[in-house]
Amino acid sequence: MSNPRNHRRFFGYAVTTALAGVLLSSCATEGQSPRAEASAGQAQDALAVGQTPEAIRLAEEAVVGEPRNASYRAMLGRAYLDAGRFASAASAFDDAMTLGDTSARTALSMALSLIGEGKQPEAVALLGDWEKELAAADIGLAYALAGDPARGISVLESSIRGGQNTAKSRQNLAYSYALAGRWREARLMAQQDVPADQIDSRIDQWSRTVAPEAYQARIATLLNVPANVADAGQPARLALNTSPEVNQVLAEAAGAAKPSGELPALAAATSGPQTVDPTVALEGYRAPAIERPRDFQTAFATQAPAGGSLATVAQDAVRFAQSPEARSAPVRQGVTPVPTAPAARAVQQPPALAPMARPTPTVVASVAPAPARPTAAPARPAPAPTRVAAATPAPAAGGNRQVQLGSFTSEQGARRAWGTYVRQYPELANHRMVITQANVNGRQYWRVAAGGMNVAQSNALCGKVKAKGSNCIAMAEAPSTQNARLASR
């Protein structure tokens, strides 16, 4: 952990997994607190030289100074992750995304943190939301690490058949086979890049990390961070407050305040390791103009022919592999994502991979009831077709109320959060997602609400949300939103 080289690699990860993309985001450019900005710069320097405890202290100081700066939240998440504090890291990355950070790196960082925290289902859901933005070799291994090796294997096999037959992809696939208990295939695939006299050692290393309960040690080993760290979570003083009242106070006090929302978002879903060849400069991912380590390395890139420890082979999402062999591997220029079906097998469709299955806008027309008998009077025309999200359930019958759950600075963030809300409150699956755009103090927000409820349902849901320490607003559903919905992504 004290090796500066390791931290430079991790810093690249942050960029690739979380930070670089977030470190100098748009929300950190106006009205910055000089002290917070100075602390953030010092925290970044501390991370670069492996001074993790100091980096955490400084990053927390920066967040206290500017609680609505997504860059600082993401940097804090990176520092927590470097210390093996997965729960705290997941909270920090979640806050960054709530504040408008929509970079794939941050989503990937959050997914890794969730996996290390033992929240594999949430990590898988987040990876599914970001599958189009992440390299196939990266997301394939991420799925496997998140407890869905069948899905990861499908993605990796399709990627290799589609032309991405690199050492990185092969070794990621080999380890995914191991995580699935397919040891014969794992050995055969690993042999393509690992010397014969080192295969037994490699397989033995993998065998010590594949147990389901070893999720934390698995991620810690891959990221070269401490394992089994007692983490009580992010300090309460750093909790994100995005209520309307706070936004108004900040706007009046600072004029250029950077509110991030109107209601606190419930644990936004979101993401897994994103591995990219060492020589590729994260071109496929939006990154800030800060020193960014080139890419998100292979989470399990081969060490051929030198072999080596699991940690050195793991050029995972959060570290850059420094091995010459890995650097000489073919550079991935881009991969078309494959479908996100949980247990889909590899789709042989070279040279391109099958596009990821995502909801598409669907036109649903309300049908006017047929008249009792023919009449000379002209029939009333049926209502115009209504655009609704393809994956949105039908509203409860007779419901004309909605519950606002959160507010986000991007439509993508709002849509992503809906999936999280549904997982936290399963009853939402029976109601429709309502996303409305609003201008608050000159800033655009996308509000997420559950529509199609009656009074009892809306009050019950809001009570449950508040009981968990979050905010919500139960209200009558505006006529304009009862039949109209933003098209799904």
> Structural domain boundaries of the chain?
4-227+240-286+293-327, 386-482
Q: Which residues share a beta bridge with 434?
A: 449
Q: What average pLDDT does this structure show over 169-197? A: 93
pLDDT band at 279 (very low <50, low <70, confident <90, very high): very low
Find out whether 271 and 108 touch, Cβ atoms under 8 Å: yes
Question: Quick one: pLDDT at residue 147?
Answer: 92
- Is the backbone of residue 394 left (phi > 0), alpha (psi -120 to 50) or beta? beta
Question: Quick one: pLDDT at residue 331?
Answer: 37
Q: What average pLDDT does this structure show over 298-306? A: 41
Q: What average pLDDT does this structure show over 74-80? A: 94
Residue 440 has pLDDT above 50, yes or no: yes
Residue 105 has pLDDT above 80, yes or no: yes
**pLDDT, tens digit (0-9, with 9 covering 90-100), for 32-56:** 567 888 888 899 899 889 899 999 9
pLDDT band at 481 (very low <50, low <70, confident <90, very high): low
**How many C-beta neighbours within 10 Å does residue 242 have?**
24
Q: What average pLDDT does this structure show over 233-241? A: 88
pLDDT band at 431 (very low <50, low <70, confident <90, very high): confident
Residue 363 phi/psi, 5-degree rounding, is: -95, 120
Q: What average pLDDT does this structure show over 169-182? A: 93
Question: Quick one: pLDDT at residue 479?
Answer: 63
**In what order do the strands lie in the sheet containing 443-453?**
432-440, 443-453, 401-408, 473-476
Residue 200 has pLDDT above 70, yes or no: yes
Question: Quick one: pLDDT at residue 357?
Answer: 42
Q: Which residues share a beta bridge with 447?
A: 407, 436
Pairing assessment for the beta strands 386-388 and 432-440 based on DSSP bridges:
unpaired
Percent of the chain with pLDDT over 70: 58
Pairing assessment for the beta strands 473-476 and 401-408 based on DSSP bridges:
antiparallel
Q: Which residue has the higher pLDDT, 366 or 51?
A: 51
Q: Which residue has the higher pLDDT, 241 or 402?
A: 402
Residue 216 has pLDDT above 60, yes or no: yes
Q: Which residue has the higher pLDDT, 59 or 299?
A: 59
Question: Quick one: pLDDT at residue 1?
Answer: 44
Q: Residue 366 is which amino acid? A: S
Residue 91 has pLDDT above 70, yes or no: yes
Q: Does the predicted TM-score (pTM) go above 0.75?
A: no
Q: What average pLDDT does this structure show over 321-331? A: 34
Write down the mean pLDDT value for the chain: 68
**pLDDT, tens digit (0-9, with 9 covering 90-100), for 389-415:** 434 444 444 578 899 888 877 777 777
Find out whether 7 and 82 touch, Cβ atoms under 8 Å: yes
Question: Quick one: pLDDT at residue 116?
Answer: 93
Question: Quick one: pLDDT at residue 329?
Answer: 35
Q: Which residues share a beta bridge with 473?
A: 404
Q: What average pLDDT does this structure show over 72-95? A: 93
Q: Which residue has the higher pLDDT, 85 or 366?
A: 85
**How many C-beta neighbours within 10 Å does residue 394 have?**
11
**CATH for 386-482?**
3.30.70.1070
Q: Residue 254 is which amino acid? A: A
* 4-227+240-286+293-327: CATH topology: 1.25.40
Helix (H), strand (E), coil (C) string for the chain: CCCHHHHHHHHHHHHHHHCHHHHCCHHHCCCCCHHHHHHHHHHHHHHHCCCHHHHHHHHHHHHHHCCCCHHHHHHHHHHHHHCCCHHHHHHHHHHHHHCCCCCHHHHHHHHHHHHHHCCHHHHHHHHHHCHHHCCHHHHHHHHHHCCCHHHHHHHHHHHHHCCCCCHHHHHHHHHHHHHCCCHHHHHHHHCCCCCHHHHHHHHHHHHCCCCHHHHHHHHHHHHCCCCCCCCCCCCHHHCCCCCHHHHHHHHHHHCCCCCCCCCCCCCCCCCCCCCCCCCCCCCCCCCCCCCCCCCCCCCCCCCCCCCCCHHHHCCCCCCCCCCHHHHCCCCCCCCCCCCCCCCCCCCCCCCCCCCCCCCCCEEECCCCCCCCCCCCCCCCCCCCCEEECCCCCCCCCCCCEEEEEEEECCHHHHHHHHHHHHHHCHHHHHCEEEEEEEEECCEEEEEEEEEEECHHHHHHHHHHHHHCCCCCEEEECCHHHHCCCCCCC
372: Cβ contacts below 8 Å, ≥ 6 apart: none
Query: Alpha-carbon distance 321 to 208, whole Å?
Result: 22
Query: Alpha-carbon distance 430 to 424, whole Å?
Result: 14
Find out whether 106 and 82 touch, Cβ atoms under 8 Å: no
Question: Quick one: pLDDT at residue 465?
Answer: 85
Q: What average pLDDT does this structure show over 322-345? A: 38
